[in-house]
Amino acid sequence: MTMKRPLTALAALLCATTLLSAPSTATAKPPGGPPEPRPAGSTEKATAPTHPDRVPDPDARLGAGWRRATDRAVTTSSDATGLHLLVADEAQAYAWRTAATLAEPGLDADQWIGQACVTGSGRRAVVVYGPRTFTNREPLMQRGGTRQAKYVVRRPNGTTEHRTIPTQWEANKWVNLGVFDFTGSGTPKVELSNFTLDGTGVQDIAWDAIAVQPLPSKPRHFVVALGDSYSSGEGSGAYTRVSDQYGDDAANRNSCRRSPNAWSQKATIPGAPGTIGSLAAGHNVTIDAQFVACSGARAHNVMSPDLVTDGKWQGTRVEGQYGEISQIDQGSLNANTTAVMFSIGGNDARFTKVGDSCAKGFDCSAPDYVMEGDNKPLGEKQTELINGVVKDSVREVVRQVRVRAPNARIFVMGYPHLFEPGCQYAITLPPAFTVGLSTNETAFLNSLADQMAAILPSDAANKVHGMDARSEFGGHGICAASTEYLNGFVVPDLQEDEDGDPVQASSMETLHPNQDGSLAYARILNNYMSLYGYNW
């Protein structure tokens, strides 16, 4: 989309996702003045006159001086031959004429459908169109959209930024792309490509329109939340549809499970009038908040392949998850970023695998216990792993965040003790299989959180702050007499459905913070922001 009139202020940019497939775009040049606004999500279209060739006498209808007018109406009409863009000029008594017919030669379609909109300056009409029947594969028609929609924002000074977002919302919805500087004398543009890193030709680049909201000044806060399941809000429910779908369908699965209950969204910058999540949802002009954490993320899922040798980290290809690109490469981090917050390393330290092994096997805390696939006792292996590969990986994530966000404060969250001291925890798996964790095993699992806390990166002089979560969660682990901040065993889906949690032995929510735990985590971040002077 081209915005002809230069903007004189920073602007928040939103894109509208839709169920309409749009394999290509075209532009035309309608007229002068801005159109009347139409409600967001409206699909109503004007109807062209039945006999556009019958033009009434303009002098009789409009009076003297009508030739000086430049107003123009724009609408669309469609049939099997294509989508027709029609215009009618006031100077010609609003006689409708076809400005362009849009279609794809050789593509069988029963009818072409589309939509036209005019930018606020009235200088460009943008047409999005596509065949009404674009595939005979019903699942793809229902699940249209890509997880790698790349919007390139070309600023007036010639520089570019990008945002790559998933669009499989399965709903008409405005999505906030962020705040961009559109000041200057050039012509800003926003482009959306139909080329993706995972393109197979069966998923749609689906879009509708963009909206630009001028801002009174540059926001004071540019906040980005990255990380793993402890950052995405896994365990706290209410996951966004675009990040929680088709867990049993590998081709369409997204199990990032981002929740508005995540601690990054429930935290409050000291002095702010609301939480980060509520301010972002309300389009507060003082903050631009982006949230790209993903359940199950390991360090290499956060990193950028461009910032490591040969696109690999410790022999593993650097890439995102569930069809999304890596978190750092999604475009939210830049020189404007003021705060970045995340947890990472738990999956690199094999927390889930170790927990499963302890629950199902013999005493995993025993000095001679070797987990399947390992070549040395589990305790020794975990200590070696955490103080080697995991420590290096967490620090590499911090380094890459600093490269992309050179001015930001970086808040790295640790992991809590899962269990209260002396906890013995029994788990009943369906249909009627009981396993459990002894007091020695829960103590061993808690010791992994101690080791992870010891490797938290902390360099206050360079605005890197490791946040120890153990104290805040003390007295509220599993088996606590008071409110538990963590889920114990959560019954999994026993049959396939359309959420992101697949059929497996235990739900993804097991051993993750619940909503009380998310609030506890948020308090930790609040305290660290206050401690280091990050205020509203």
Which residues, at least 6 apart from 469, have a Cβ–Cβ distance to it below 8 Å? 413, 414, 415, 416, 453, 520, 521, 524
Q: Three-state SS for 335? A: coil
Q: Looking at residue 210, what is its pLDDT?
A: 78
Q: Are 298 and 353 in contact (CB under 8 A)?
A: no
53 versus 104: the higher-pLDDT residue is 104
Same-domain check for residues 478 and 346: yes
Same-domain check for residues 156 and 125: no
Which residues, at least 6 apart from 468, have a Cβ–Cβ distance to it below 8 Å? 414, 453, 456
> What CATH code is carried by the domain that includes residue 461?
3.40.50.1110
Same-domain check for residues 263 and 340: yes
In this structure, is residue 2 part of a structural domain? no
In this structure, is residue 250 part of a structural domain? yes
Residues 419-438: tens digit of each pLDDT: 999 999 987 766 677 778 99
The DSSP bridge pattern shows strands 189-192 and 24-28 to be: unpaired
Q: Are 405 and 334 in contact (CB under 8 A)?
A: yes
pLDDT tier at 26, thresholds 50, 70, 90: very low
Q: Which residue type sits at 170?
A: E
Phi, psi of 79 (to 5 degrees): -160, -165
In this structure, is residue 5 part of a structural domain? no
CA distance 150 to 165: 7
Where a domain ends, among 214, 239, 266? 214
Same-domain check for residues 338 and 462: yes
CA distance 436 to 364: 11
- 22-31, 60-69, 110-119: least confidently modelled range: 22-31
In this structure, is residue 335 part of a structural domain? yes
Where a domain ends, among 186, 214, 242? 214
In this structure, is residue 327 part of a structural domain? yes
Q: What is the mean pLDDT of residues 188-211?
A: 69
221-225, strands of its sheet edge to edge: 287-291, 221-225, 339-342, 409-413, 464-467
Q: What is the mean pLDDT of residues 391-397?
A: 99
Do you know the residue count of the chain? 536
Same-domain check for residues 267 and 305: yes
Q: What is the 3-state secondary structure (H, E, C) of 93-124?
A: CCEEEEEEEECCCCCCCCCEEEEEEECCCCCC
- Judged against a pLDDT cut of 80, whether residue 323 lies above it is answered with yes
Same-domain check for residues 139 and 128: no
Same-domain check for residues 239 and 352: yes
Q: Looking at residue 114, what is its pLDDT?
A: 64
Q: What is the mean pLDDT of residues 488-499?
A: 86
How many domains does the chain fold into? 3
> Structural domain of residue 80, as residue ranges?
70-132
Phi, psi of 158 (to 5 degrees): 95, -15
Q: What is the mean pLDDT of residues 381-401?
A: 99
Q: What is the mean pLDDT of residues 308-324?
A: 95
In this structure, is residue 59 part of a structural domain? no
pTM of structure: 0.76
Which residues does residue 264 pair with via DSSP β-bridges, in sequence order?
none
- Judged against a pLDDT cut of 80, whether residue 117 lies above it is answered with no
pLDDT tier at 205, thresholds 50, 70, 90: low
In this structure, is residue 76 part of a structural domain? yes
Same-domain check for residues 455 and 308: yes
Q: What is the mean pLDDT of residues 311-333?
A: 95
